[in-house]
Structure 1
């Protein structure tokens, strides 16, 4: 059933659960196979991408799959091979270097996962060129999204890009990826309940747009994926296919919405804070590993707020000086510009308190129906041997507490982090949710 949902989505025949015409996506071809060996060239050529193709990988992904794809394309295509250093930086400077190196290409072929995909996605979008991606790890849900996570001036941003024309995923290659990268994809999938709860909260309190569609796409696979996280790590190909579909359908959900909101809320803001403020002395961790940990914190916070008495919100105390003091003179102004848009004061605060006073039982009922208990989410990660606590990411408790407090200042998304802070409960709850 879940595979048919993906097929119908690509064919443009899947009904929109929110009403309106059938759902449409820009990606034309998705191939998930136990092996793609020998078919790589035809998969690319069938899309008619042009006469000159630029194949982009890094030192690691070139050895894993890039060399194989390159050999499959050599002879019938004019190919520019670009092999970036291992673990390239997803920043604007790297994007500009990539654009210069692919100037003569008609299209880009990304061979990699998160960083390589985002670099090619954004560079090709700026140059109005199509791109396809051969995935090398099931590490994130961004393969088919229309946003790219690019660092600009030290601030990690979700920049508008475009979807790949084709996505090609070899289950054998993905199952052989480093275990941490598989756990990362699982962690990135774990946040569906917390992201949906945060997004629905903003809708119920402030009438912000909200859709059920992204979560309907995921419903078929989520239960099995969460229940089989140990099988996933043991190399079970059926479990890997479930993870791959979940990651793709999550990305398609954000692409259809035109926003990352269905998959990125408070849990991602905590991760973004850690990326921005962690410094070079904090060991690198994969994005999805971080999201697994921050999702548990967010789920515990949501449970605490939903089970507490009706909250009464106070006027926001954090001002521009606080935000700039937290993030510094370079990042602070951008954060303040975002945070100021959701800052509660005056009539906006009065309206929020009135809505809560008159409708809080309804809010609790609606959100309680779509969350997964924090204990169950913790068990999913435990069975997979994934990080579950900040210390397992080499984050000190004091740093993580600062991240949970400061995360909401980064972006104009009202989440349970804001609700708890505005209700004067966030500091009190910190010991129980971390």
Structure 2
């Protein structure tokens, strides 16, 4: 049976953006993004060499994979590239996207020319960051729709201190998706990617609120380019759990559009606000209690919590009332360690309000709340719909589903706002004295 795809193929609109033929509605200027080729097809079997050949990566290729992605597609890619030039291979053993693995891969790629990553989040981030440091071009064959970082210009790396951050990097020259390979990947990987897409609702609510209250930069472009595909994807949520090719195709389109959005804004706020802070906190500070779950799986659970928290405020005709920000620095030291706590303390100072600033926020909230509330409700998906979508996709719904102790999850909800200078409803709830009680009811 034929796979249903968008009119114009799986890279419709994406081709126009990459080719500089799409006009940014905010500026009226043609799009300019740092990519040369993005290809998403039902099958790329037999086309691997042709896809890479025109990228001018060098006279010798090094294919980077781990054991699973080598079996899924890496060996196939390496064999195909052998028709173009000599091929070396680097097989990483249970890699993590941290500075230790960056150092190891940097050494192993010291003499490499064209780097071709075959994998998903960790493999891509490591290859992206290592090649970006030395201004070497790279390409990636994605093997799972597990995250939206393929087309972003940042890499998620854990520093030596243990703090996970998004570091500036560069884009792959070529990004290639074989949907047959990706649909055959373990379903939990696609469910994690779906959760990273479900974020849109709560992230947009947080980001627009931040824009209206404290003047944060806001752009509608990332939402414009992914809106139609988000709707199509949501109708296919059950297909994510069943390995459906069309569902994975729309999933990759939304993930790709989200990554491309960074090219227009220079930031990831459109898809990463309060809910991502919860996941980052778990990754950084859960320690031995961390169940080994994927970032996207944690984001999905946190997205549902954020949707419930936002609804508490949006259901009320009365505006929130905040007090001066209180953050226990000694508590931060105890939870994070002195080095990370000091770094985070400096990071969050712009959103720590004294009495005067809190009064100004309250005055603004009193003035604009009726309008702001309606604006935010227009962005929000109903919580019950989001729960059903994530359930249909096969994603974890609670901390128990993650295998994470509930007290650790609640700690993340309460304290993750201490990590990053992104103003979210977590901050409003904390400054209104409501966050701890809310978190105590989350499971």
What TM-score comes out, normalization by structure 1 length?
0.97
Unpaired runs of 5+ residues, structure 1, are none
Residues 52 and 104 of structure 1 are in contact (CA less than 8 Å); yes or no, is this contact kept in structure 2?
no
Query: Aligned partners of 1:64 and 1:12: how far apart in 2?
Result: 33
Show CA shifts across 1:350-384 (max 9, x none). Answer: 32122112111121111111111111010001112
The residue number in structure 2 matching 1:179 is 187
Give the one of 304, 320, 323 matched to 2:332: 323
1:38 and 2:77 correspond:
no
SS at match of 2:40: strand
The residue number in structure 2 matching 1:358 is 367
CA shift for structure 1 position 48:
1.5
Query: Aligned partners of 1:3 and 1:81: how far apart in 2?
Result: 29
Show CA shifts across 1:33-87 (max 9, x none). Answer: 11111110111011121112221111111111111100001143132211110x3
Give the one of 97, 100, 104 matched to 2:107: 100
CA shift for structure 1 position 233:
2.2
Residues 285 and 335 of structure 2 are in contact (CA less than 8 Å); yes or no, is this contact kept in structure 1?
no
The residue number in structure 2 matching 1:274 is 282
- What are the residue-to-residue correspondences of 1:205-284 with 2, within 5 Å? 205-284=213-292
- Tell me: CA distance 1:340–1:323, structure 2 relative to 1, closer, same or farther (3 Å): farther
SS at match of 1:158: strand
CA shift for structure 1 position 431:
4.4
CA shift for structure 1 position 433:
4.8
Name the stretch that deviates more: 404-413 or 14-23.
Answer: 14-23
1:381 and 2:390 correspond:
yes
The residue number in structure 1 matching 2:439 is 430
Give the one of 164, 169, 186 matched to 1:161: 169
1:401 and 2:410 correspond:
yes
Query: Aligned partners of 1:304 and 1:59: how far apart in 2?
Result: 46
Give the one of 18, 27, 36 matched to 1:19: 27
The residue number in structure 2 matching 1:142 is 149
Query: Aligned partners of 1:391 and 1:234: how far apart in 2?
Result: 23
In angstroms, what is the RMSD of aligned CA positions?
1.4
Show CA shifts across 1:75-118 (max 9, x none). Answer: 43132211110x30111121122112112222211100000000
SS at match of 2:101: helix
Give the one of 56, 70, 81 matched to 2:78: 70
Equivalences, count = 433
Residues 63 and 116 of structure 2 are in contact (CA less than 8 Å); yes or no, is this contact kept in structure 1?
yes
